[in-house]
Amino acid sequence: MLIGAHVSIAGGLANAVERGVERESDAIQIFHQSSRAWRPNVYSDADVEEFRTALAASRIESVAIHAVYLINCASGEDEVRAKSLTALKNALELGDRIGAIGVVLHPGSQKGRDYDDSMRAVGDALREALAETDRCPILLEDTAGAGGTLGRDFDELARLIELGGAGERLGLCLDCCHMLATGFEVRRRAALAGVVDELGAKVGLGRLKALHVNDSKMPLGSNRDRHATLGDGEIGERGLRVFLSEPRFEGLPALLETGPDAGGPDLEQVRIAKRLRREGLANRRRRR
């Protein structure tokens, strides 16, 4: 498992690598532009080359891009839809240039729109974005289930992948906080094994490309997306040991998004995640 942190690109794209190394990260996630603005960042070939050179010289083995929060591919508003597609394509193009494993995307929200129309709109957007870019995958992120958000369970995620063309460039990123909030029990070994079985049956384990590792301020089935620092929430250290040591998650980037302040995950949070994984693996060995 490649445990690491979401890091800032402030001051230049290559600075993200330095911040990842400072946090002893084996994988990093970045925003390709401000997470809450439509204005795109422009990266020169020199910027990209500096990033790739720094990455090659570092311990970091995997990079993911998180699409900006404003994107809503389910929107029925022409302006929002157009801006969403532009931002998604920009992220995919940068992903190609820097060798990212994928662009993590919140599928979208109905915002009062008909459910079937919203689902088809997301599928159409996925098809268009993939058709107009080259290689970088889109990784749909499961949602906590609040309001009209889409991607709340494996049936919905499978349907979105089907509507998006079901090609190899469509995958998943699972967030353990969102999973708990939407009703998936991820804190007990047998329960999590059943969840992963369901994922395999309905979506396919081959589509799972990344994990988000966040504790949850809200309880099981709350449908509220409220991240907590590791060990300080409803999942807790015991549950995180289980999640981080699930055998079928082996080899995946496991990306922390929540830290002690607005700066995101710090070195201590990454070290906690790595410790909990080691302890979880040791517990599994003792139970054999």
d(CA 23, CA 5): 7
Question: Does pTM surpass 0.95?
Answer: yes
C-alpha 8/C-alpha 61 separation (Å) is 17
pLDDT band at 287 (very low <50, low <70, confident <90, very high): confident
Interatomic CA distance for residues 72 and 88, integer angstroms: 10
pLDDT at site 252? 98
How high does pLDDT run on average in the chain? 96
Indicate the pairing of strand 103-105 with strand 253-256: unpaired
pLDDT value at 263 more than 80: no
pLDDT for 254 equals: 98
Domains of the chain: 2-287 (3.20.20.150)
Nearest to 106 by CA among 136, 151, 76: 151
pLDDT digits (tens, 9 = 90+) for 122-138: 999 999 999 999 999 99
Tallying the residues shown for the chain, one arrives at 288
Residue 275: per-residue pLDDT? 98
- Pairing status of strand 215-216 against strand 227-228: antiparallel
**264 band by pLDDT with thresholds 50, 70 and 90:** confident
